[in-house]
Amino acid sequence: MHTIKSETIGQYLLNRLYEAGVGHIFGVPGDYVLGFYGLLVKSQIQHIGTTREDAAAFAADGYARCQGIGALAVTYGVGALNTLNAVAGAYAESSPVIVISGAPGVVEQRDDPLIHHRFGPFTFQREIFERVTCATVVLDDPVIAFRQIDRAIAAARQHCKPVYIEIPRDLVLVKGYPMPKVEEIAFVSDESALSEAVAETLTLMERSISPMLMAGVELHRRGLQGALIKLVERANLPVVATLTGKSVFAERHPAYLGIYEGAMSSESVRYGVEQSDLLLMLGVTLNDIDTGIFTARLDPHKMIRVAQNEVVISAHRYPRIAIADFLSALVRAVKPCRENSPAAMTATDASQFPAPNAAMTIARLMARLNQALTPDMIVVCDVGDCLFAAIDLHVHEQSEFFASSFYATMGFAVPAALGCACARPGHRTLILVGDGAFQMTGTELSTHAKLGLAPIVVVFNNGGYSTERNILEGTFNDISRWQFDRLGELFGPLKGYDAPTEVAFENAIIAALDNVSSPSIINVHLAVDDTSLAMQRLAEHLKSRVAG
């Protein structure tokens, strides 16, 4: 440990964020956070202004998924509360986002005044954020402020969850008390339990006739994609992924079979998983989306479940085992196998695209997008049928598909793609978004344009909320018709394309791929009743719940 030099609280926070890997902070300024913004623009961290505070939080989430940590800075009350839905999503999806909120000064708060943006006791905001973060701190004491900052950042990294840091505006420029930095304490696995768990796993793998590996989202959050590929190739295991873990394993790898989500899976994937005599589940969360609204037929006696801090093999539970330690130990211990190579995933058909006079359909759209995907492309997908249709996309690289798959908040994709683009400047984003979700946060496309980014936005335009339509018909599912291809007149510079037919889409996607200087948006007209197969299966199960 070493002692740091004396700095102001605001400057120390910025320095520690930069050291943690934060190169951009997203947000909207306000008077309670302006002092911090004054330091921010002079720091090594770039400020990215967004159109709304919730968009800043979505952007920080996307940034964190690419970079390992993200941050946003907003004002007290109206600013911070506007981020709550997005922060809750980051919590549910295990994304380490640092929420920085300005606040009335310590001196101001002493007299309990009725000042703007206040909505109750000054402690209310922190108490609210306690429910959607793994740590909250208020930097109202210079003596302990530095220690609080260190602990908050360490908590975000350790737990892969958001944290909340509140800084009163009259303490931003106050010097903190120098003290030894808090070193992050790594989780230490129980060596005895680890050895036993690996040994039992190896025994079961050697006995298995039809083993299967299921990869989940926690592998991505812990940066274990490389170790996963080593295990698969060494043991020659067939692989499926959950929807929330989509692309955690390279989807064009010959061992990859597809997405498993219970009754919503393809017949071949579902059969392969549910008939397996040994299912090795790594980093899988058994939520309703990944289990197809709990339609998964998985025998717990044939499962090895490896979660963040434990391994469960049938009825045996091994606590205090980090998933990273288990995976690396298993890779070292498993015997190389070169037999029974699994069949590769079947590609969707895009033959004879574009067909003359053919209207666009979801199936043909996804097939053509598969051809358009490039190795440097990050796919960011919103909630709705675009997400379920994206099951058929085969992205090139590991972990280059991001969505709010579990929390399922609409409006995620456009701002999250902004964060991804800032974190990975050498990559291009492909945004898949429904017309309803775009209307929520699509204004962030103007920020992409301002920064000279060149995302390709594909709007699934069917005039409303397709998921809800499949559950219950009603005019409440219909939305205003936007001319998405004309948004360049408002957001510019931006190129828009109208695509009611396959020929029009072919021309649009070719032009969009060639345009690397500004955003491109393609308005894809889809029939109201055109839905993906996965959506149809999901709707049947949800419909029975609504009726019952």
The CA distance from 155 to 161, in Å, is 8
Residue 490 burial (C-beta neighbours within 10 Å; 0-12, 13-18, 19+): exposed
Tell whether domain 191-333 is in CATH 3.90.1170.50. Answer: no
The dihedral over CA atoms of 241, 246, 248, 250, expressed in degrees to the nearest 10, equals 90
> What is the pLDDT confidence band of residue 2, given thresholds at 50, 70 and 90?
very low
pLDDT at residue 233 in the model: 95
pLDDT digits (tens, 9 = 90+) for 418-455: 999 999 998 999 999 999 999 999 999 999 999 999 99
Residue 351's pLDDT is 72
What's the pLDDT tens digit per position in 163-198?
Answer: 999 999 999 999 999 888 767 777 889 999 999 999
* 114-166 pLDDT, tens digit each: 888 889 898 999 999 999 999 999 999 999 999 999 999 999 999 999 999 99
Task: Give start and end residues of each alpha helix (H) in 275-346.
Answer: 323-333
- In 3D space, the residue among 158, 129, 116 whose CA is nearest the CA of residue 20 turns out to be 158
What is the rounded CA–CA span in Å between residue 461 and residue 496? 14
pLDDT at 239: 98
The span from the CA of 305 to the CA of 319, in Å, is: 12
Residue with tokens 């393609």: 522
pLDDT at 274 over 60: yes
Q: What does the angle CA 37 – CA 40 – CA 45 come to, to the nearest 5 degrees?
A: 145
Q: Please report where in the chains the tokens 């609080």 appear, as a residue.
A: 148
Q: Please write the tens of the pLDDT for every residue from 396-407.
A: 876 689 999 999
Measured CA to CA in angstroms, residue 538 lies from 258, 533, 541 at distances of 17, 9, 5
Lowest mean pLDDT among 75-84, 270-279, 291-300, 516-525: 291-300
Query: What integer pLDDT is reported at residue 541 of this predicted model?
Result: 62
Q: Looking at the structure, give the CATH architecture of the domain made up of residues 9-168.
A: 3-Layer(aba) Sandwich (3.40)
pLDDT at 131: 98
In terms of pLDDT, which residue wins out, 264 or 484? 484
- Same fold flag, 9-168 and 362-547: yes
**Could you tell me which of 399, 420, 21, 423 has the C-alpha nearest to residue 221?**
399
pLDDT for 71-95, tens place per residue? 999 999 999 999 999 999 999 999 9
pTM for the whole structure: 0.94
In the chain, where the domains are located: 9-168, 191-333, 362-547
% of the chain at pLDDT higher than 70: 94
- Model pLDDT, residue 1: 42
Residues 6+ apart with CB under 8 A from 354: 501, 502, 503, 505, 506
The per-residue pLDDT for 398 is 62
- What is the Cα–Cα distance from 538 to 353, expressed in whole angstroms? 29
Res 470: pLDDT? 78
The DSSP annotation for 149-217 comes to: HHHHHHHHHHHT--EEEEEETTSTTSB----BPPPP------HHHHHHHHHHHHHHHHH-SSEEEEE-H
Specify whether domain 362-547 bears CATH 3.40.50.970.
yes
Instruction: State the chain's mean pLDDT as an integer.
Output: 93
Q: Is the pLDDT of residue 281 over 90?
A: yes
Residue-wise pLDDT for 329-388, tens only, equals 999 999 888 665 555 555 556 678 999 999 999 999 999 999 999 999 999 999 999 999
Position 546 scores a pLDDT of 60
pLDDT in tens, 305-323: 999 899 999 889 999 999 9
Output the pLDDT for position 348: 59
Beta bridge partners of 505: none
